Amino acid sequence: MKDKEDKVKKILKRLSQSYPKAHCELKYGNAFELLVATILSAQCTDVRVNLVTPALFQKFPDVKSFAKAQLSEIETAIRSTGFYRNKAKSIKGCSEQIIEKYGGKVPKTMEALYGLPGVGRKTANVVLGNAFGIEEGIVVDTHVNRVSRRLGLTQENTPEKIELDLMKKVPRTQWTQFSHWLIWHGRRRCYARKPDCVHCELASLCPSFGQF
Active site residues: 122, 141
Smallest CA-to-CA distance from 60 within 77, 83, 40 is with: 77
> Among positive and negative, which fits the CA dihedral 46, 179, 150, 206?
positive
Angular region, 103: left φ>0, alpha ψ -120 to 50, beta rest: left
> Among positive and negative, which fits the CA dihedral 114, 120, 122, 123?
negative
**What is the rounded CA–CA span in Å between residue 128 and residue 123?**
9
Q: Are 110 and 137 in contact (CB under 8 A)?
A: yes
The CA-CA-CA angle for residues 96, 115, 159, to 5°, reads 130
Look up residue 127 and give its amino acid: V
